[in-house]
Structure 1
Amino acid sequence: MQVVPVIDLLAGQVVRAVRGERSTYRPIRSALCAGSEPLDVARTLLDHTGSNILYIADLDALTGGIPQAGVLAALLAALPATTVWLDGGFRDASAFAALLRQLGADGARVAPVFASESLTSPQAARDAFASHPGAILSLDRRGEEILDPAGCWTDASLWPARLIAMTLERVGAFAGPDLEVLASIRRRAPAAMLIGAGGIRDAADLDAAAAAGADAWLVASALHDHRLLPLP
């Protein structure tokens, strides 16, 4: 199971995400590092996990604000061996392209995460994945509510080669992974790289998620709270 560390950026700081309730997020307190400065936290998580991938959620952009292009550019420049998976609330391919122009050459190491909660229509989804073959689709839900104006959950023909199963109410909640949802996506996309998000408490949860079909998992809180030690 591949562990992909996550940082949630809000107003230039790393915050702790809890249940997808973004208005309540506060600067991270971590057993791994002091402070909430993005580069310090990112380096610590990458070193701790041995990952060369960092998932970034730009909460300013996700909540309708201006993308944190300067913070993102600084992280990319300081972490030249790292690939970034970026969720910036992209509504369509042009929204990511506009940000990419601000990132310069380092933007080549950014894979856009197009979230079902953000894509505006089926055509926007088709265009996004046609324009960016390395893009990732995040299938978002909160409890029984599917967050999906573009119809991505129901139309698997829209799905690219990499998928995230995002259960927002389990993020930072230590409620365990949603194995049923994960397995249902795996049955519909047997060849995809399937990445889970939300709920991981310990290594046993990662093992259970792998058995249900996950190839990787996005993790933040369990790392900061020393619940996943040691990692290989």
Structure 2
Amino acid sequence: MRIIPVLDLKGGEVVRAEKGRRDLYRPIVTPLSQSPDAVSVAQGLRSLHDFRTFYIADLDAIEGRDPNRAALARLKAMPDAPELWIDAAFADAGTLAAALADAAIWPVLGSESQADADLLRRFRDHPRLILSLDFFAEGYHGPASLFDQPQYWPQQVIVMTLARVGAGAGPDFARLRDIKAMAGDRSVVAAGGVRDEADIRALVAHGIDGALVATSLHDGTLTPTQLAALAQR
């Protein structure tokens, strides 16, 4: 199981996500960092475990504002720099191609930001492209053609269940099971609702390859000992 910490960026700071209701997101308060500064929070997370990958949701870019370029540059410059899976509302070929040209970035193509499946079809064979299938409380957000044609999916697919983020409700196992069946031999990563070690082990039993996690790391539910054991599976 690959456990990937989440950094939601807004206004240059890490914010705490709550059920996908982005208007309610506020700067994070965590025992792992004295401030919501992105690098400070990332370093705090690395005090729990030697995380090699971070998922970044650039909420300003996703909501149509200027992206968090300075914070992202500082994360890229960290010692022993991690892979950065970045959702920055990539929606045109030039911006996506530029991100793919940077070896430190694994661009996440969020379904909510797509008008159609053209970008996915064009870039799907790139080994660092990641698809995020985005589900809000009311259901899937994105083009039906992107969801209904798994033959065009890249090798890594995130199932983003935003209504469960920060809700303590557990992963949506039924949805994950269905999408895993559609994905075939692709890697499927769960996002939203992971509460504890039991949830992680249940995801493994469902054939899920990774999990995006935030709250259970900051509140200490997932301990360094558990993280080390889970990473060995």
- What TM-score results when the alignment is normalised by the length of structure 1? 0.91
Equivalent residue for 1:110, pick from 94, 105, 112: 105
Q: State the shift of 1:181 in Å.
A: 0.7
- 5 Å matches for 1:79-228? 79-98=79-98, 107-130=102-125, 132-149=126-143, 151-228=145-222
**Structure 1: tracts of 5 or more residues without a match:** 102-106
Q: State the shift of 1:129 in Å.
A: 2.3
Q: How many residues are matched? A: 226
Q: State the shift of 1:98 in Å.
A: 4.8
d(CA) in 1 for partners of 2:172 and 2:92?
Answer: 28
d(CA) in 1 for partners of 2:207 and 2:137?
Answer: 20
The AA in structure 2 aligned to 1:59 is: L
Equivalent position SS for 1:108? coil
Equivalent position SS for 1:78? coil
The AA in structure 2 aligned to 1:128 is: F
Equivalent position SS for 1:139? strand
Equivalent position SS for 2:30? coil
Partner of 1:60: 60
d(CA) in 2 for partners of 1:192 and 1:125?
Answer: 15
Call closer, same or farther: CA 1:100–1:187 in 2, change over 3 Å. closer
**Structure 2: tracts of 5 or more residues without a match:** 229-233
Q: State the shift of 1:133 in Å.
A: 3.2
d(CA) in 1 for partners of 2:20 and 2:177?
Answer: 22
User: Deviations 1:101-151 (Å, cap 9, x if unpaired)?
Assistant: 8xxxxx311100001111221212212324x43110001111351111262
The AA in structure 2 aligned to 1:164 is: I
Equivalent position SS for 1:127? helix
Contact 1:119 1:150 in 2 (8 A): no
- What TM-score results when the alignment is normalised by the length of structure 2? 0.91
Percent of paired sites with the same residue: 42
Partner of 1:5: 5
Q: State the shift of 1:100 in Å.
A: 6.7
